[in-house]
Amino acid sequence: MPKIDFGGVTEEVVTSEEFSLEKAREILKDEIIVILGYGVQGPGQALNLKDNGFNVIVGQREGGQSWDKAVTDGFVPGETLFPIEEAARKGTVLQFLLSDAGQVTTWPKIKECLNEGDALYFSHGFSIVYKEQTNIIPPENVDVILVAPKGSGMNVRRNFLDGSGINSSFAIHQDFTGRAKERTIALGIAIGSGYLFSTTFQNEVYSDLTGERGVLMGCLSGTMEAQYNVLRKNGHSPSEAFNETVEELTQSLIRLVAENGMDWMFSNCSTTAQRGALDWAPRFRDAVAPVFDELYDSVKTGKETQRVLDVNSAPDYREKLQVELDAMKKSEMWKAGEAVRRLRPENRKK
């Protein structure tokens, strides 16, 4: 693997150019890859594997929306789509992509479907790292591996279709066959990763849970709401408040960051914006640093894990979740956002 300098720290990465799709096909030619769960990550990974020519089937509970989605996506009941346990018994690579709470519920039956030499694949380190709470302890005679795309399942598919690929981390928890690493990297390429970087199950889950609750989702959502409310409180219209808080970020500035970094984005903004951002960035950094310390500790000690398992396992979880999401959707801020999105040029043409 080539070594890349990441800001003075050298890491080994695997790119799709050096580890070709043809090489992945050769390594996985005798494998039956089973996607267990067709919710968030399942569709993107399954469809990418299918389009790349791998032998892939889907295991999903019959009769629900996810089963119907798999059928719509081209998986055929009785041929490439089966109930979860039946699918698991057919596979040599079991991609365990159910929700974390769903993995806990189904694990006793999935464990019985594993044969010596199979690979148990995760896209999140949660169930293995927090085994005291999940009780997911794989048998010793299988490979236990991880490929974790750094994006939503939707973007795993979108990036594949536009040819860009998505970055993924990979890890080996247990190498029974001696082939775990080549299997893992081949699977990472097969699902459409642009490049893969090495991690551990523990580091993946600690960084992932922190990121989701922090900058990627929780912090972003809360910070947006705070700024929007300040602007509205001071007499700015919903349209102005939303544009200055969300629209300019998502439609302009974040794209500049993605292209060449934060300094490049700063250098391509007005001098007034540059000065203000440079002055205020350290104040925001210092203000939220204690919150991030508390968040990371909550992840590391398993408090976040217990919260997830307790809440997501409740029989009325989906109903309560929808109440929370509806409250967000119906808030003035996001109703303003809906109106702003309709006014984008590409949407006005529809």
- Other beta carbons within 10 angstroms of residue 77's beta carbon come to 13
- Judge contact between 93 and 31, C-beta under 8 A: yes
| pLDDT score of 9 | 84
Three-state helix/strand/coil letters over 327-346:
HHHHCHHHHHHHHHHHCCHH
pLDDT per residue as tens digits for the range 234-253: 999 999 999 999 999 999 99
* Kind plus residue range of the DSSP H or E element containing 59: strand 56-59
| DSSP SS3 for 168 | strand
Q: Is residue 206 included in any domain, yes or no?
A: no
| Residue written as token pair 């081209």 | 74
Reading the block at residue 263, the tokens are 């300094």
Query: Is 124 part of the annotated catalytic residue set?
Result: yes
Report the share of the chain in percent with pLDDT over 90: 87
For the chain, what is the largest distance between any 2 Cα atoms, rounded to a whole number of angstroms? 67
Please compute the mean of the pLDDT values over residues 286-303 and round it to a whole number. Answer: 96
Is the same domain home to 275 and 238? yes
Among 199, 222, 243, the domain boundary falls at 199
Is the same domain home to 282 and 176? no
Is the same domain home to 139 and 12? yes
Of the two residues 151 and 47, the one the predictor is more confident about is 47
Q: Which domain holds residue 111?
A: 3-199
pLDDT at 263 over 80: yes
Q: Is residue 44 included in any domain, yes or no?
A: yes
Q: Which residue is catalytic, options 66, 95, 120, 124?
A: 124
* Kind plus residue range of the DSSP H or E element containing 63: none
Q: Is residue 204 included in any domain, yes or no?
A: no
pLDDT per residue as tens digits for the range 84-110: 999 999 999 999 999 988 999 999 999
- Other beta carbons within 10 angstroms of residue 18's beta carbon come to 12
Mean pLDDT of the chain: 94
The span from the CA of 218 to the CA of 211, in Å, is: 8
Q: Is residue 205 included in any domain, yes or no?
A: no
pLDDT at 1 over 70: no
pLDDT at 349 over 90: no
| pLDDT score of 43 | 96
Q: Is residue 256 included in any domain, yes or no?
A: yes
| pLDDT score of 312 | 87
- Other beta carbons within 10 angstroms of residue 75's beta carbon come to 23
Is the same domain home to 305 and 157? no
